[in-house]
Amino acid sequence: MPRIAYVNGRYLPHNRAGVHIEDRGFQFADGVYEVIAISEGNLVDIEPHLERLNRSLGELNIPWPVSRRAFGFILREVISRNRVSNGSVYLQITRGVAPRDFAYPKDLKPSIVIYARGTAKPSIETASNGHKIISQPDIRWKRCDIKTVSLLPAVMAKQIAADEGAIEAWLVNEEGMVTEGTSSNAWIVTAEGELVTRQTDNLILSGITRQTVMKLAKEAGVKCVERSFTLEEAKQAKEAFSTSSTALVKPAVEIDGVQIGDGKVGPIARKLIEHYLNYMDNPS
Ligand code: PMP
């Protein structure tokens, strides 16, 4: 079955779907995106994702190209046309097409690209493998709260991680604090047993998975504290993991070659993986 992508009002074969060479997304990374997990054909946390998209668009003064309701319909149509049961949908809205100039005309029609990708349904076994992560300096801008397609510092750090056989790079700012992963939020369980993830501000993306995992932790009786932590604290933690819509809850057992805890996936990560997988099947 051919893959189908949605581009500016048309459903096209994936390999023939393209945008204009003067699309500002292509030339200036002038656009925003979302990645939403699909579980049994359902979009996981669709409303918070659309709300964050709304915020990202607003911060960049890009209008919604279609109504939010119509947008939800198109997302579901792409999933259905590609018969994806489990996987993710990628959506991108850019400011639109204009002759190349840093300043933009106010009346542009934003461009939309949406496509879906199927993956194997995650299981507790596959989700519970421990991974290596490394640290990298956080060289990004000061508006990481906007989910823009301007991702080069993250691409560079993630490539260094991949070259070193690590699954993610945690980014460390000039104060020595871990901000987040290149494409995930960072969590630790401290030596004292406290579940910690950084507070949200302009230096990180407010992850939808982060929000859901905080809720699930609370329901499971695990207290979560939102505060900054240093790389050193992370290396001495009992547990460490990252969260994102595609990685879900991804445990780390090594940071920069330092073993975390006893080198095995810890009980809190395990519990949260289990709760998150259940949640994906029955989101509330
Ligand atoms: N931080 C960054 C920088 C990201 O790119 C992502 C994933 N896109 C996240 C955090 C996690 O966000 P979410 O849980 O909404 O996927």
Q: What is the DSSP string of 126-162?
A: HHT--EEEEEEE----S-TTS-BS--HHHHHHHHHHH
Output the CA 259–ligand 1 centroid distance in Å: 25
Q: 147 catalytic, yes or no?
A: yes
Q: With the C-alpha atoms ordered 118, 206, 77, 150, is the resulting torsion angle positive or negative? A: negative
Q: Where are the domains of the chain?
A: 4-118, 124-281
Helix (H, G, I), strand (E, B) or coil at 13: strand
Phi-psi label, residue 13: left if phi above 0, alpha if psi -120 to 50, beta otherwise: beta
Q: What is the pLDDT of residue 284?
A: 67
Residue 250 Cα distances to 8, 41, 172, 244, 245, angstroms: 34, 22, 19, 8, 11
- What class has domain 124-281? alpha beta
Q: What is the CB < 6 Å shell around ligand 1?
A: 35, 180, 183-185, 205, 207-210, 243-245
Tens of pLDDT, residue by residue, the chain (284 residues): 789 999 999 999 999 999 999 999 999 999 999 999 999 999 999 999 999 999 999 999 999 999 999 999 999 999 999 999 999 999 999 999 999 999 999 999 999 999 999 999 988 988 889 999 999 999 999 999 999 999 999 999 999 999 999 999 999 999 999 999 999 999 999 988 999 999 999 999 999 999 999 999 999 999 999 999 999 999 999 999 999 999 999 999 999 999 999 999 999 999 999 999 999 998 76
| Domain at 4-118: CATH code | 3.30.470.10
Nearest-CA residue for atom 3 of ligand 1: 183
Distance CA 255, CA 230 (A): 12
pTM greater than 0.95: yes
Tell the residue nearest (CA) to atom 1 of ligand 1.
Answer: 184
